[in-house]
Amino acid sequence: MNARLLAPLLLLFIAQPEQRYFRYERPITGIQTQPKQTCVALDVTAFAHASADLADLRLYRDAQETPYALRIVAPTATEQSHIEPLNLGSRNSNVVFDAEMPEGNYSTVELDLQGRDFIATVDVSGSQAQDGSSATELGSYTVFDLTNQKLGRSMLLHLPVSDFRYLHFKIGSPVRREDVAGLSVEREPLEPAQYLTLAESSQILQQGRSSVVEFTVPANVPVERIEFVLANGASNFSRSVSIAVTPTPGRKTLEQGTRFDGEIRRVHGMHTGRRIDDEQLAIEIGKSGSQASSTWTVTIDNGDDVPLALKAVRLQMARRNLCFNAAPGGNYSLYYGDAALRAPHYDYASLFQPDKEAAEATLGAEQVNARFVPRPDERPFTERHPALLWVALVCVVAVLGGVALRTAKQMRP
């Protein structure tokens, strides 16, 4: 059959969106009086009540479906590029080397130093030529390994956003030439990440040498970051953290538990005559969501130290904006809660270009769609009543068996 003739027939078996079949409705307010690209942030309620991956999300201007694009306001995940040191040597008791950097902007550089139990100062400059001519000073930074003092290890250099083709490093003692194995760098995102808090808890339980916090996360809600909020007067520390994700008890699911590991630390003050200011109070875990509700157990290993002084622990997700071209007049509403729908494919989303001056609208409170009616079951009769198919099959076998038996008796004489 011709593909052009087959396509309309296939559409008959694909559920089409209708406002009356959506269980939930949310008004969008703050639409400007002039046509403008407009974005509204989705919250945890939308994820919890929409279908997986927001496939049933539909935007309407009165009764007219409006195309939209979903946009995650977070850095694009990129693999770190390992860079070998160039011209590695010593000069005036300092280790010096160059590094050829990738094209594009970058800011965070992580050194690969093999030494242990040390504090060192790193001077960094940048230039477009390997010989360092007309080099620009980028600052002095402190790297350290204080694992013996239970204060962790940090080799990160937070440089100003740069695009120098070459970086030049000078590292003071006690780092030796043979300790330098190279460095790694990630591309700088075009815009900083924005996170929304999904859940926050100050109920921190002490279980033996561990501090434990538990959360219940609804189905389909992504968790991408865990933030730890220190109480006032918190001292320096370095603690290992484990995150266990398990299906909520009582839920029947085939999904297995997941585990993440990370580290949080706070180091401020003078050590061996050098100033250190380093904090890592969040753990990035990437996108992690479950098709069933799940329990998140965050465990901080205190070792032999006193429990960590925390004000709260927060589960967060990257901000997700629903963007569209808003026209003045009319009422915009977001609908979801129709599991029969597939994800839409709009030209607007394929060709979407974010506007730096896009307007921000507000997503109103969720409410049950006043016109909601359950979608009729449009599956074929055999899928809706599979038992009848087996009954019919048994009847056919019985009839055929009877006919065969009668035929055999007639042929016997």
Look at residue 291 in the predicted model and tell me its pLDDT.
66
**What is the C-alpha to C-alpha distance for residues 362 and 326, in angstroms, rounded to an integer?**
13
Band the pLDDT of 10: cuts 50, 70, 90: very low
Is a pLDDT exceeding 70 seen at residue 266?
yes
Is a pLDDT exceeding 50 seen at residue 5?
no
Mean pLDDT, residues 11-33 taken together: 85
Of 44-53, 330-339, 365-374, 393-402, the range with the lowest mean pLDDT is 393-402
Of 158, 227, 200, 189, the C-alpha closest to 72 is 189
Token output for 75: 């850095």
Is a pLDDT exceeding 90 seen at residue 369?
yes
Of 122-131, 222-231, 276-285, the range with the lowest mean pLDDT is 276-285
Is a pLDDT exceeding 60 seen at residue 384?
no
Mean pLDDT, residues 367-384 taken together: 77
- Secondary structure (3-state) at 390: helix
Order of all β-strands in the sheet with 166-171:
86-91, 94-100, 166-171, 118-127, 136-145, 153-154
Give the max Cα distance, the chain.
Answer: 117
Band the pLDDT of 389: cuts 50, 70, 90: low
Is a pLDDT exceeding 80 seen at residue 345?
yes
Band the pLDDT of 68: cuts 50, 70, 90: very high
Beta bridge partners of 110: 156, 184
Q: Which residue has the higher pLDDT, 404 or 260?
A: 260
pLDDT tens readout for residues 43-57: 999 999 999 889 999
| Right CATH for 195-319 from 2.40.50, 2.60.120, 2.70.70, 1.10.3470 | 2.60.120
Mean pLDDT, residues 110-132 taken together: 90
pLDDT tens readout for residues 158-195: 898 888 999 999 999 899 999 999 999 877 666 677 89
Give yes or no on whether 81-187 and 195-319 have one common fold: yes
Question: Amino acid identity of 115?
Answer: G
Backbone dihedral angles phi then psi of residue 252, each to the nearest 5 degrees:
-85, 115
**What is the C-alpha to C-alpha distance for residues 154 and 411, in angstroms, rounded to an integer?**
93
Of 31, 29, 28, 69, the C-alpha closest to 328 is 31
Q: Which residue has the higher pLDDT, 394 or 365?
A: 365
Mean pLDDT, the chain, integer: 85
Band the pLDDT of 310: cuts 50, 70, 90: very high
Q: Which residue has the higher pLDDT, 4 or 120?
A: 120
**What is the C-alpha to C-alpha distance for residues 384 and 264, in angstroms, rounded to an integer?**
53
Four-residue CA torsion sign, 44, 45, 49, 55:
negative
pLDDT tens readout for residues 83-103: 999 999 999 989 999 999 988
Band the pLDDT of 388: cuts 50, 70, 90: low
Burial label, 214 (beta-carbon count in 10 A; 0-12, 13-18, 19+): middle
Nearest-5° Cα angle at 176, 174 to 178: 155
Is a pLDDT exceeding 50 seen at residue 138?
yes
Look at residue 109 in the predicted model and tell me its pLDDT.
92
What stretch of H or E contains 350? helix 347-350
What is the Cα gyration radius of the chain?
A: 30
Look at residue 19 in the predicted model and tell me its pLDDT.
93
**What is the C-alpha to C-alpha distance for residues 371 and 335, in angstroms, rounded to an integer?**
12
Percent of the chain with pLDDT over 70: 85
Fold of 81-187: Jelly Rolls (2.60.120)
Is pTM beyond 0.75? Reply is: no
Look at residue 300 in the predicted model and tell me its pLDDT.
96
**What is the C-alpha to C-alpha distance for residues 155 and 123, in angstroms, rounded to an integer?**
13
Look at residue 413 in the predicted model and tell me its pLDDT.
55
Of 27-31, 87-91, 184-188, 390-394, the range with the lowest mean pLDDT is 390-394
Look at residue 286 in the predicted model and tell me its pLDDT.
73
Enumerate the domain spans of the chain. Answer: 81-187, 195-319
